[in-house]
């Protein structure tokens, strides 16, 4: 420590790291320790290269009460159930009119065309996505912070879930982990549901699907690249297309939500990844514009919303000095880009 000054509610210190110590790791240790006592440190660098350590006492907002999270889950279960019922009804009507086939005998009983097979797969994807965020928060010394589920209109019945975190991230590594952990966790059940879903979806000739689209309002939707690959791997016959079963639709939604969440804009999960990786705001803005364009095929409304998100400034971590770790720059970013490509609307 080179100098110190007492200020209301804390201390300002000019520090110099001991030779051989990593300031990032040392600051993380200090931050975790101080946070236990309701204090928050901040690490800044002056243009002449001196490190400033500010320590303040803060009153942290309380995490969301569990009953509020459970109440939002209950409401959301009802709206998703209604969406699943409407979907199952119209699907059963369509199947009764068309001459359908199945890739697997699993789907032919039609018992899987039932709202419960939309509700359970969709909530397992949403739940595991949020659990990923919760686990990352806990790993970085935070509290368990339950998500709030947002109900919505059909066809989905939900806008997903959010966690209003009370914890200020320590450094860029934590921002990266908090952002990427959700989509990475939710991606796994989304793939599982897509595989089971495609195996249990009715297949019809493409011409017949075009006819049904005209007469019955059947909709063609943009396909995530991985969804397309799974269909091909499961020897989906040429000239045929699937009418998504409730499980397939939940898997499709899971992949699309993973993609939209991964877009590098504002406070989206991908926005945190971009912030952690790119300190330059102009580079992040350029990426955000690309993100908005990429989101248009899935949902023009969502693209507009993401453009709106970009207006909000990303809050900095406590350690504003240290860059993202090498392993996250290499392995983490490679995983992020792979997931983004696999869930993008790039049909082959």
For residue 222, what is the DSSP state? Answer: P
- Of 151 and 182, the one with the shorter C-beta distance to Zn ion is 182
Neighbours of 131 (CB within 10 A): 15
- Nearest approach, Cβ of 24 to Zn ion (angstroms)? 25
Give the residue, chosen from 23, 115, 142, 182, that forms a contact with Zn ion under the rule CB under 5 A: 182
- Nearest approach, Cβ of 23 to Zn ion (angstroms)? 30
Size of the site for Zn ion (CB under 5 A): 2
Which window, 77-85, 101-109, 263-271, 309-317, contacts Zn ion (CB under 5 A)?
263-271
Using the rule CB under 5 A, is 345 a contact of Zn ion? no
Residue 299: exposure state from Cβ atoms within 10 A (0-12, 13-18, ≥19): middle
Using the rule CB under 5 A, is 202 a contact of Zn ion? no
- Nearest approach, Cβ of 265 to Zn ion (angstroms)? 13
DSSP H stretches of helix in the chain: 23-35, 66-97, 116-139, 172-199, 206-216, 225-233, 246-262, 269-277, 281-295, 300-309, 326-327, 333-343
- Of 173 and 269, the one with the shorter C-beta distance to Zn ion is 269
| Contact residues for 253 (Cβ-Cβ < 8 A; gap 6+) | 122, 125, 156
Using the rule CB under 5 A, is 264 a contact of Zn ion? no
- Of 27 and 259, the one with the shorter C-beta distance to Zn ion is 259
Beta strands in 152-280 (DSSP E): 158-162, 203-205, 240-242
Cα-only R_g, the chain? 24
DSSP 289-321: HHHHHHHTTT-HHHHHHHHHHTTSPPPP-SB-S
Which window, 43-51, 242-250, 261-269, 300-308, contacts Zn ion (CB under 5 A)?
261-269
- Nearest approach, Cβ of 131 to Zn ion (angstroms)? 11
- Nearest approach, Cβ of 70 to Zn ion (angstroms)? 19
**Cα separation of 348 and 346, whole Å?**
6
Using the rule CB under 5 A, is 269 a contact of Zn ion? yes
Residue with tokens 């240290």: 322
- Nearest approach, Cβ of 235 to Zn ion (angstroms)? 34
Using the rule CB under 5 A, is 160 a contact of Zn ion? no
- Of 132 and 317, the one with the shorter C-beta distance to Zn ion is 132
Using CB under 5 A, list all residues that contact Zn ion.
182, 269
């Amino acid at each position: 420590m080179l100098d110190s000054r007492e200020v209301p509610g804390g201390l300002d210190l000019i520090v110099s790291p001991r030779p051989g110590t990593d300031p990032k790791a040392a600051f993380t240790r200090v931050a975790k320790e101080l946070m236990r006592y309701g204090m928050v440190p901040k690490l800044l660098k002056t243009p002449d290269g001196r490190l400033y350590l500010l320590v303040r006492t803060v009153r942290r907002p309380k995490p969301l009460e569990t009953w509020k999270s459970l109440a939002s889950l209950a409401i959301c279960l009802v709206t998703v159930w209604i969406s699943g019922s409407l979907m199952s009804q119209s699907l059963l009507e369509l199947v009764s009119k068309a001459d359908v086939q199945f890739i697997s005998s699993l789907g032919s009983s039609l018992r899987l065309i039932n709202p419960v097979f939309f509700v359970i797969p969709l909530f397992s994807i949403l739940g595991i996505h949020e659990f990923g965020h919760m686990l990352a928060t806990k790993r970085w010394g935070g509290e368990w912070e339950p998500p709030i589920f947002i109900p919505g209109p059909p066809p989905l019945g939900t806008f997903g879930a959010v966690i209003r975190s009370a914890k200020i991230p320590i450094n860029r590594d934590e921002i990266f982990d908090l952002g990427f952990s959700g989509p990475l966790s939710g991606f796994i059940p989304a793939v599982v549901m897509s595989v089971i879903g495609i195996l249990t979806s009715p297949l019809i000739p493409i011409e017949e699907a075009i006819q049904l689209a005209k007469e019955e309002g059947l909709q063609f939707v943009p396909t995530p690249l991985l969804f397309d690959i799974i269909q091909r791997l499961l020897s989906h016959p040429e000239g045929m297309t699937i009418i998504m079963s409730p499980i397939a639709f939940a898997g499709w939604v899971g992949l699309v939500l993973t993609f939209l969440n991964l877009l590098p804009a504002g406070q989206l999960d991908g926005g945190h990844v971009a912030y952690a990786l790119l300190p330059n705001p102009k580079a992040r803005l350029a990426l955000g514009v690309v993100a908005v364009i990429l989101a248009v095929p899935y949902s023009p409304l969502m693209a507009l919303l993401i453009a709106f998100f970009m207006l909000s400034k990303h809050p900095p971590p406590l350690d504003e000095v240290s860059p993202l770790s090498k392993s996250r720059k290499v392995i983490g970013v490679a995983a992020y880009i792979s997931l983004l490509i696999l869930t993008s609307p790039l049909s082959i």
